[in-house]
């Protein structure tokens, strides 16, 4: 079962809605172990993406994703703007010219996107960053039997994301602002891992 361009556009709209709804919660999480701007960063970023969408929605999936990435990169400050920007720009590469993508192609998009985040931010599993959700989720997706329905595959990706998100709570941050707190970062859920989980939920909601 393929993911259509319409579903990709729905994904982006869902991201915008979710970051509007959960802006204050993300900000609360980032206030505890960062500088309190993550909710605003994500909400602003995706509202800029929404502004851009009318001019790019008729293009192919790769071009749409690349423009999303460039928008996030140029409009969102802090760590998360460049990291999510890179995610979409790198993820876009294998989807250039495509009006729909198979499950395997979606996994490639996510895999390339996450590789972009890692090459830019150098975070490893357990550093208490968004990579603590991305890496296990992409790993799981790569091992799935792609013949299952897409909604079921993405539902279990969201479940994996939520489990991985909870697992960030006891960790001591090794990257980003939270690492300045050292041991005091333990006991708090990572904001970026939370926004990544929301993006995966937004994707599932676009296909279910
Ligand atoms: P800033 O910390 O610059 O204010 P945000 O608050 O928007 O940026 O984003 C913070 C989130 O970015 C963190 O919760 C973490 O998940 C993520 N992050 C920070 N540094 C890195 C990194 N090097 N690699 C991956 N993710 C990172
Ligand atoms: Mg912040
Ligand atoms: Mg900041």
Instruction: Spell out the CATH class of 2-207.
Output: mainly alpha
Q: Which of 129, 193, 195, 196 to mutate to test the pocket of ligand 1 (most atoms within 8 A of CB)?
A: 129
Express each pLDDT in 22-40 by its tens digit.
999 999 999 999 999 999 9
- Specify which residues 3 forms β-bridges with: 101
CA-191 nearest atom, ligand 1: 14
ipTM of the complex: 0.99
CA-29 nearest atom, ligand 1: 14
Report the run of H or E that residue 101 belongs to, with start and end. Answer: strand 100-101
CA-121 nearest atom, ligand 1: 23
pTM of structure? 0.98
Express each pLDDT in 90-115 by its tens digit.
999 999 999 999 999 999 999 999 99
Q: What is the CB-side half-sphere exposure of residue 180 using CA atoms within 13 A?
A: 6
Report the run of H or E that residue 3 belongs to, with start and end. Answer: strand 3-4
Return the structure tokens found at 84. 């999510």
Report the run of H or E that residue 92 belongs to, with start and end. Answer: helix 80-92
Question: Whole-angstrom Cα distance, residue 197 to residue 133?
Answer: 7
Cβ(61)–Cβ(113) under 8 Å?
Answer: no
**pLDDT at residue 1, as a whole number:** 76
């Amino acid at each position: 079962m393929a993911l259509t361009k319409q579903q990709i556009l729905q994904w982006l709209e869902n991201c915008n809605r979710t970051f509007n709804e959960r802006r204050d919660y993300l900000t609360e999480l980032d206030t505890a172990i960062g500088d309190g701007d993550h909710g605003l960063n994500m909400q602003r970023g995706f509202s800029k993406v929404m502004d851009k969408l009318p001019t790019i929605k008729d293009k192919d999936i790769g071009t749409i994703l690349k423009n999303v990435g460039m928008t996030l990169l140029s409009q969102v400050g802090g760590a998360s703007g460049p990291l999510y920007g890179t995610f979409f720009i790198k993820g876009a590469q294998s989807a250039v010219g495509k009006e729909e993508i198979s499950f395997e192609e979606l996994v490639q998009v996510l895999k390339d996107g996450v590789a972009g985040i890692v090459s830019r931010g150098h975070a490893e599993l357990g550093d208490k960053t968004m990579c603590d959700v991305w890496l296990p989720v992409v790993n799981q997706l790569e091992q799935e039997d792609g013949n299952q329905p897409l909604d079921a595959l993405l539902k279990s990706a969201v479940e994996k994301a939520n489990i991985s998100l909870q697992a960030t709570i006891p960790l001591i941050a090794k990257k980003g602002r939270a690492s300045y707190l050292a041991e005091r970062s333990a006991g708090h859920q990572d904001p970026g891992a939370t926004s990544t989980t929301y993006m995966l939920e937004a994707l599932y909601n676009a296909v279910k």
